[in-house]
Amino acid sequence: MYYVIMPSNDIRRNLATEQYLLNQRSFDEPLVLFYIQKPCVIVGRNQNVRAEVDLNYAKEHQITITRRLSGGGAVYDDLGNLSFSFVVDATHESFGNFKAFTQPIIDALHEMGALGAEISGRNDLLIDGKKFSGNAMYTKNKKMYSHGTLMLDVDLDEVSRVLTVSEKKLASKGTKSVRSRVTNLKPYLAKEYQGISTEDFRDRILLHLFKAKTMDAIQTREYHLTQEDERAIDQLVAEIYGNETWVFGEEPKYTIKREEKFQGGLIEANISVEKGRISAITIYGDYFSQKDTKEIAELLIGCKYEQAAIKQVLADVVVGDYFTNVSKAEFVQLLVD
């Protein structure tokens, strides 16, 4: 395994670096990436930014907003958060198998005294019943990454101020607010780690992953970005992560809004219907997908807005490829009763 410590604290550049290393570089072993960033919100690929983020607050407090390639929900990061990403050959790992990547992180936290840290539900890591890490996956061209956050010492008040989470999502977790269901890891670490910085926290996890005692012992496993890499990453920032069209998306007017929480995540469908047929449809949510959900939306344009017609259009479609752990019947009923 090789590792990359990203020098930037700009989330847009860090996500661009992750994408570049996934798509443009080939390694003979898996990669693990670590990155730390200034205050930012990262929404999932399929989410409606305006429904997830208090945009006025974010602008007023200079909180960067961007969109990642992977699905899942919105997260707030600041310099008290450590992000990690495992880049692997997709043929060797099952899409959706978060435990394969998060268990080594859990083991490292146990080693640092956070003995109550555990894997829970679809993609969360919890301690004392509260979330300190969310994880997501993305796959392309037989490669994939699984990335996540580790809230070491994040400003928790900012989490609830800038994120506006769906009431259905909160209800499904049995909680009443964003603030009440998240926590930092630092209070749960052993005494000798109570004053640890985010950078030192990163290094402790890295040493655990490599079963080493000093950073010098693993320096030959570090990959350093070249000038060629940097130029390509600059282009990705400009074209994608810093591009408002990508971040905010195209949001046509709609006449019908349908929303439901499934085992596979929250799905929101905004549908325009003219003369009994679907004229426009946008689909948002914190679900995971192996294929772009725009494809399934395009199939439905022109379809009669009724269950029988929608079922016929989707007859040969594997809905689970677009909404992991959501059945075709559930998706059809979401669109129309």
CATH number at residue 260: 3.30.390.50
In this structure, the answer to whether residues 239 and 262 fall within a common structural domain is no
Cα(328)–Cα(292) distance, integer angstroms: 16
In this structure, the answer to whether residues 30 and 107 fall within a common structural domain is yes
Tell me what pLDDT residue 177 has: 40
Domain C-terminal end among 223, 248, 273 = 248
In this structure, the answer to whether residues 230 and 298 fall within a common structural domain is no
In this structure, the answer to whether residues 239 and 273 fall within a common structural domain is no
Q: What is the pLDDT along the chain (337 residues), one digit of tens a residue?
A: 999 999 999 999 999 999 999 988 888 899 999 999 999 999 998 888 878 899 889 999 999 999 999 988 899 999 999 999 999 888 655 676 788 889 999 999 999 999 999 998 777 899 999 999 989 888 888 888 889 999 999 999 999 899 986 555 444 444 344 545 899 999 999 999 999 999 999 999 999 999 999 999 999 999 999 999 999 999 999 999 999 889 987 655 668 889 999 988 999 999 998 887 899 999 999 999 989 999 999 999 999 998 989 999 999 999 999 999 999 999 999 998 7
Domain C-terminal end among 248, 265, 281 = 248
In this structure, the answer to whether residues 29 and 127 fall within a common structural domain is yes
Tokens 């192996």, residue located: 290
In this structure, the answer to whether residues 218 and 326 fall within a common structural domain is no
Helix axis angle, 198-210 to 99-111, nearest 10°: 110
In this structure, the answer to whether residues 137 and 274 fall within a common structural domain is no
In this structure, the answer to whether residues 261 and 324 fall within a common structural domain is yes
Domain C-terminal end among 194, 225, 248 = 248
Range of the domain at 269: 256-335
Q: How far apart are the two ends of the chain, measured CA to CA in Å? A: 50
Give the chain's domain count.
2
Cα(317)–Cα(264) distance, integer angstroms: 17
In contact, 306 and 271? CB cutoff 8 Å = no
In this structure, the answer to whether residues 325 and 200 fall within a common structural domain is no
Tell me what pLDDT residue 171 has: 47
Q: What is the pTM of this model?
A: 0.76
In this structure, the answer to whether residues 215 and 303 fall within a common structural domain is no
In this structure, the answer to whether residues 313 and 182 fall within a common structural domain is no
In this structure, the answer to whether residues 140 and 52 fall within a common structural domain is yes
Residue of 103, 86, 182, 80 lying closest to 139 (CA atoms): 86
Residue of 117, 82, 105, 112 lying closest to 202 (CA atoms): 82
In contact, 138 and 70? CB cutoff 8 Å = yes
Query: What does the DSSP 8-state code read for residue 217?
Result: G
CATH of the domain at 124: 3.30.930.10
Distance of CA 266 to the CA centre of its chain: 14
For residue 154, the number of C-alpha atoms closer than 13 Å in the C-beta half-sphere is: 30
In contact, 265 and 50? CB cutoff 8 Å = no
